[in-house]
Amino acid sequence: MDFKNAAELLTLCEQHQCPISEIMIRRECDLAETTREALDLRMKKALAIMKKSSAEPLVKPRRSMGGLLGGEARLVEQHRQEGKSICGNVLSKAIAYAMGVLEVSSSMGLIVAAPTAGSSGVVPGVLLALWEESEASEEKLIRALYNSSAVGYLAMRNATVAGAVGGCQAEVGVASAMAASAAVELMDGTPKQCLDSASTAMMNLLGLVCDPVGGLVEYPCQNRNAIGVANALTAAELALSGVNQLIPFDEMLAAMYHVGRRLAPELRETAMGGCAATPTGCAACKR
């Protein structure tokens, strides 16, 4: 039940008439020689960590180790609760949750790297907000996480998820693709729509550089996680609406990897370019 690329994954879905999540579950059971029950326990543990790291900062903000973050997620949530959000409940919640996870991560708390620490807020932000607003079952939510893991696996196998290799497009870009695909399955979309949305999400962030101020996974990382959830939800909406994606996910991954390798070294997690090299960014490091 293994697959090397998205084309093979789609073929398996068609052959077995099942969603991406089911193929991923079967793959993991086969290769890890484990049971569905054992696999589900691990996924439920990851989900529990996602829920906690998303929600706690909205009530009790956490100051980051570098001092650049702390309290932003609660501000977004308060804005939503006051009825002032211009984004609507799903997106506003997703933004708050995603930013909250980055507060936990940057303060050395426990998070799920999905696929990395610097992009860890996107998948839980999108899925938890959408799950709460859609009133889908927790079983469907867990299935959506398996879907996202399939997309993450493809990115790691065929490209990269490291900012030092491919820039932030490889971190928040891949996380956004994972979240978009998972959101489509959560909302009963087809496997092709899932991968179309993943391709769109990746396309929209193509070329995004990795330029952490002070070399810390704090700023602009938190804001980019917020953008990642907006991008994922937009890509999912397009796919579910029937909007076709011209470029297959496999080709978009290859394009992302090629672009990432051509980025200047100072734009790949060295803190020597972009936001990190601005006068204010440099001053924040000294502070």
pLDDT of residue 286: 75
Tell me the pTM.
Answer: 0.97
pLDDT of residue 87: 96
For 30-71, write each residue's pLDDT tens digit: 998 899 999 999 999 999 999 999 999 999 999 999 999 999
Q: Report the half-sphere exposure of 76 (CA within 13 A, side-chain side).
A: 27
pLDDT of residue 42: 96
pLDDT of residue 1: 80
Orientation angle between helical segments 6-16 and 138-158, nearest 10 degrees: 140
pLDDT of residue 135: 84
Task: Decide: helix, strand or coil at residue 66.
Answer: coil
**Which residue ranges form the domains of the chain, and what is each CATH number?**
6-286 (1.10.4100)
pLDDT of residue 119: 98
What is the rounded distance in angstroms from the CA atom of residue 37 to the CA atom of residue 47?
15
pLDDT of residue 73: 98
Identify the segments of the chain with pLDDT beneath 50.
none
